[in-house]
Amino acid sequence: MAEGSDALRRRGGAAVSPKGQGSGDELKLKEVARSEAGAYKGNGGESSDPLAPANSHVGLAQRDLLRLAEQRFGQPDVSIHPRLRSTGGLSLTHLWTHEDWELYASSNRWIDALMEWPHSSVLRRTAAPIVALIVFSLAVALLNQAILPGWGVTFRLVLPMAPLSASGGSLALLLVFRTNQAYDRLKEARQNWGALVLRTREIMQVLLAHSIYKDGLRVEENDKDVALIARFLAVYGWVLRVRLTPLMRGLGEDDEAIRALLPEREAEWILASRVQARPGQVLMRLRALIAGLHRRQALGDILQIQEEQLALLGVVGGCCERLLSSPIGPTYTRHSMRVMLLWLFALPLAMDTGSTAQLLISVVITAYIMLGIDEMAIQIEQPFALLPMQQLAIASTRGVAETFRPMPDSFEHEPPATRE
């Protein structure tokens, strides 16, 4: 939570006239803004100045955005599938920090990997087929080493190793292709969510620079609309997160997030839409608000830039929709699984050398490796069950809020600092 605390300690500001002449009333407004800023407690700690004037629309919007980010930070992310949630080890279910990278590259990582093995999601998910292979291997060993010789039968239930060796390369290609495709899907999903965080912040920065600040001076004419745009930019990540998460997982609290960020009528308008349509509704409202500023000649010549940025946000949502609705070909997946099962269950018949212990060890190691590769592909093929979308939505919300940090009254008119 240090990031939010540091941000909230930055100094506040107040509006000035377009000409930069601070009248007596304006000076009083500055003092009121500073005094009201002290009433806002970031992180539940000591009072700290918000980044924007507390008595302005953008100040209220910033307060609501940062408050939601603080409330949600550290809460369990229910958008992550329960079977994929981290049990203490490093994983993709949270955003990494410098400490995570240090631990990841630690010289003790081998020991950590062994200690965390019993909690591995891959081990849990592959346990059933491995147990089935163990039972089958024991049956083959018992049949070949005890039952058939006891009956005086010289026939042994074995297969030559050559067919397995010849088909092993084809099976490896099936697994590698599928795993690569799954990782490409995960990479694309993460890049799109990263683009969402970047685009929302960029839209807000450009909008503030052209509609709230004129020649380095802050004006108030567009304060209300800019604040509402900031709220809708922040809410976009939350509605997209709900769209990409099964409703059965319980994301009802995100309705509360929408109500916390938007005015009542705006929130009810969004919530009245289908979950699938809400990201598009948010973008439509953003376009309408930006068009309204343009009609009042408050944007200068940046309308086309903002429209392009909003279009890129729409591309983010569209790409996520495509990844959710279009998996790797199920026929390909089923065929690779069937080939792998045939290969693994033929393995005990080709490796029965007379030692049951050697047979079991060889089968278990081989099965764990191959089934583990398949399981990793299954886990990442649907990337939205794995990605920390709550943390990414928080990052987008906080990024929008922190653009409200007021600039100095004028960079140009201040004399350069002299050095003695």
SS3 218: strand
Q: What is the DSSP letter of 288?
A: H
Domain borders along the chain are 51-98+121-151+160-403
Model confidence over 232-259: pLDDT tens digits?
999 999 999 999 988 655 555 578 889 9
Torsion of CA 31, 33, 35, 36, to 10 degrees: 160
Model confidence over 43-70: pLDDT tens digits?
333 334 445 555 578 888 999 999 999 9
In the chain, the amino acid numbered 53 is P
Task: Give pLDDT, residue 141.
Answer: 86
Measured CA to CA, the distance from residue 70 to residue 397 in angstroms comes to: 10
Task: Give pLDDT, residue 256.
Answer: 85
Measured CA to CA, the distance from residue 35 to residue 54 in angstroms comes to: 9
Measured CA to CA, the distance from residue 274 to residue 243 in angstroms comes to: 9
SS3 274: coil
pTM above 0.95, yes or no: no
Average pLDDT, 10 consecutive residues per value, the chain (420 residues)? 34 35 40 35 37 71 91 83 71 88 89 87 92 93 77 75 90 93 96 96 90 68 89 95 77 78 93 92 95 85 90 95 94 94 92 82 94 93 92 94 73 52
